[in-house]
Structure 1
Amino acid sequence: MATGRTHRPATRSRGIPEATVARLPLYLRALTALSERSVPTVSSEELAAAAGVNSAKLRKDFSYLGSYGTRGVGYDVEYLVYQISRELGLTQDWPVVIVGIGNLGAALANYGGFASRGFRVAALIDADPAMAGKPVAGIPVQHTDDLEQIIEDNGVSIGVIATPAGAAQQVCDRLVAAGVTSILNFAPTVLSVPDGVDVRKVDLSIELQILAFHEQRKAGEEATPDGAGPAAVTRRESTDQGPDGDVPAVMPA
């Protein structure tokens, strides 16, 4: 089976917009659930509702894949699962290294969804010598001194950083120098990377702060019976659509 080092997803070369790429995993998740229930076909309206988008946007997204469905029948679920998986590069094996095996790193290592979605945890790496050799999720932790050799031996092109903020940039630099071209960053810091390296940031504290903001506004709205106070204005403004019909949202960098 091919590894991520020699193959890249085709989405960019085919001109699929980044906003569409970001929605493809949502469609795939909804389609996988339908497939598990042995549902053979699905309408654009049903699939859009399951994925949390509008049907017009879904049909436009699928047009970039060359999939238009059949009028009166809908989309073939199994074929769409294959088509989207192929477009996202999930029909091949992507070896991944996780650096930083604290509570979060260990939780990621134990996540059972990687293998079923085209990813294989090739190695767990930590700077603590006391962690070396200890199994986490059945995989022995290796020391950061061996990071470059581990990446070369496993053909790794995707790295996950789950270290403290102060160590993240140094780890990132070493990953990039060793040939990693895609990084998922859980550390609460912004990473600097050269052109050609993709970074996706997941900051749980930011997401919680956004939820706290909305909770505060909802509490203020309840305190204003007629709903005409500043909180109501904020709520209405938050649903204004962007230039392409998207609801503005905070997304990982």
Structure 2
Amino acid sequence: MSSPTYGVRHIAIIMDGNGRWAKRKHLPRALGHKKGVEAVRNIVRVAGEMGIEVMTLYAFSSENWNRPQEEVSDLMGLLRQYIQSDIDEFVENGVRLKVIGNYRALDSDIVAMIDNAIEKTAQNSKMTLAVALNYGAQDEMLRAVQHIAGRVRSGELEPEAINLSDISDALDTADLPPLDLLIRTSGELRLSNFLLWQAAYSELYFTDALWPDFDKAELEKALQSFGHRERRFGGR
């Protein structure tokens, strides 16, 4: 029997704490990232079983390029392995893969793998897994503004006619339902340039659990917290 989702359709997670998890266990940082990928695999399965419609995961930010080259290479290697090993399971379980951010700036073989996975899962409808790769919310909003500016320049849209829907429709998440719940692991209390527009009225949940330890029980705690809140959307 699936767990209650309290009306949550769209959950986003800032997956933080792989390195600290490894450090606490006196393991190489790369093993922390590997354990983090296992946590991704598990939580996607759990979310599907619960009936969550969309899960958006912050996998690699546009700022993560500033990390040591060896660590970036390890992360890209894990990304390759994840796509190769899990694509058949996505198809079997009805999971549609979507990628937000400028993923085409990644290595060409990764781009090809992502494009193939997106195409292969395009007709799946049980759940959407949106993965943020080379993503930054400010960059996303900049690209949206540039798109709208192009519409204005072409005469398609008058400046004074621009509305909130025009902006939302120009974002990477245009085809996703509104964000209900944003979770961040590892005890950090910031959004780190993630879904800034989309999080305007989402509920925020912060947990001290490190990402490799984030499991079904932790997700249920977040959903229970959401269930006890009254969403006002600024109305009262």
Q: TM-score, normalised by structure 2?
A: 0.30
Say which structure, 1 or 2, has more relative contact order (CA 8 Å, 6+ apart): 2
Instruction: Report the TM-score when normalising by structure 1.
Output: 0.29
Q: Is the radius of gyration larger for structure 1 or structure 2?
A: 1
